Amino acid sequence: MRIDVMGVEFDNITIDEAVSQALDLMREQRAAYVVTPNPEIVMAARENASLSDALAGADLVLADGIGVVKGAKILGTPLKEKIPGIDFAARLFSLLSKQNGSVFLFGAKPGVAELAAQNLLKQYPGLVIAGTNNGYFTDDAPILDRINEASPDLLLVCLGFPKQEIWMAEHTGALNVGLMAGLGGSLDVLAGVAERAPEKWQRAGLEWLYRLKKEPRRIGRMMQLPKFLFSVIGRRLGGKQHAG
């Protein structure tokens, strides 16, 4: 069952259910893909048809962020829980490592994917790193060839939105992978070049505030959160989306 939150339909599942479904999709070997929209992505999808279509075409749409969960609750259609993309990936890494499953890391600045690979191998013995590629490219063909040659169980696509969602939607038919997951800045965190919010901030649903505290330049992007909530409240009160 999917829940509509301002035009984006989210799977109403727990993280355990999401991981189980992801493993089922992986076994199908059809390059199914997972997206993890937060309020910023939901707002962007209202004005970007390609992004909206890519989200709608995903096999799993996970609520990455407390804002989406709160928005769904305000609308009277609550979601079971938030599912941070990096936590979802960690569960998959753990399970894949027990069966010598493979992952290809795609995205971020040069050198970051390689650092992330080193850390993953230390944390998840048994996990196979099928390959890496940074997110700076002008031609898809060589990257598609590398990924297909590696034929990973899991392909992490960390190009930032909307590029990663649109890229997955456009190339799903050309890839020999089990499952793709668009996970934004997760490679930076896995590589240790970016810091995730401490657990107490995560539990309080304040990861966004921690990131803003660490990176004040994100204020422009963070303003999408109140715009999202105003739109949700507008829809709830007026029966339609609030302008903006």
pLDDT > 60? residue 241: no
pLDDT of residue 38: 94
pLDDT > 70? residue 212: no
| Distance separating alpha carbons of residues 47 and 69, to the nearest angstrom | 21
Single-letter amino acid code for the residue at 5: V
| Distance separating alpha carbons of residues 120 and 115, to the nearest angstrom | 9
pLDDT of residue 197: 65
Single-letter amino acid code for the residue at 142: P
Q: Measure Cα distances from 206 to 165, 196, 197, 213, 225 in Å.
A: 25, 11, 8, 11, 12
pLDDT of residue 208: 59
Sequence-ordered list of residues with C-beta below 8 angstroms from that of 162, at least 6 positions apart, any chain: 41, 44, 45, 48, 50, 51, 54
How many residues are there in the chain? 244
Sequence-ordered list of residues with C-beta below 8 angstroms from that of 170, at least 6 positions apart, any chain: none
3-state secondary structure at position 128: strand
Q: Kindly report whether the global pTM for this prediction surpasses the value 0.85.
A: yes
Residue 69's Cβ-side half-sphere holds a number of Cα atoms within 13 Å equal to 17
Band (pLDDT 50/70/90 cuts) for residue 166 is very high
Supply 141's token pair. Answer: 């063909």
DSSP bridge pairs for 44: none
pLDDT of residue 209: 59
* Cβ atoms of 116 and 51 closer than 8 Å: no
pLDDT of residue 242: 41
pLDDT of residue 244: 41
Q: Give burial (CB, 10 Å; 0-12/13-18/19+) of 203.
A: exposed
Residue 103's nearest CA partner among 157, 152, 70, 68 is 152
Quote the mean pLDDT of the chain: 91
Residue 63's nearest CA partner among 29, 97, 39 is 39
Supply 143's token pair. Answer: 């990257």
Supply 233's token pair. Answer: 């409240």
pLDDT > 50? residue 40: yes
Residues 19-42: what's their mean pLDDT? 97
Residues 50-74: what's their mean pLDDT? 96
| Distance separating alpha carbons of residues 132 and 102, to the nearest angstrom | 12
Instruction: Look at strands 8-11 and 154-158 and give their pairing.
Output: unpaired
Residues 196-221: what's their mean pLDDT? 65
Band (pLDDT 50/70/90 cuts) for residue 133 is very high
Residues 103-131: what's their mean pLDDT? 98
Residue in this structure with the two tokens 């290809």, named with its chain if needed: 104
Residues 86-94: what's their mean pLDDT? 97
Q: What percent of the chain has pLDDT over 70?
A: 87
Q: Tell me the pLDDT tens digit for each residue of 177-199.
A: 999 999 999 999 999 998 766 77
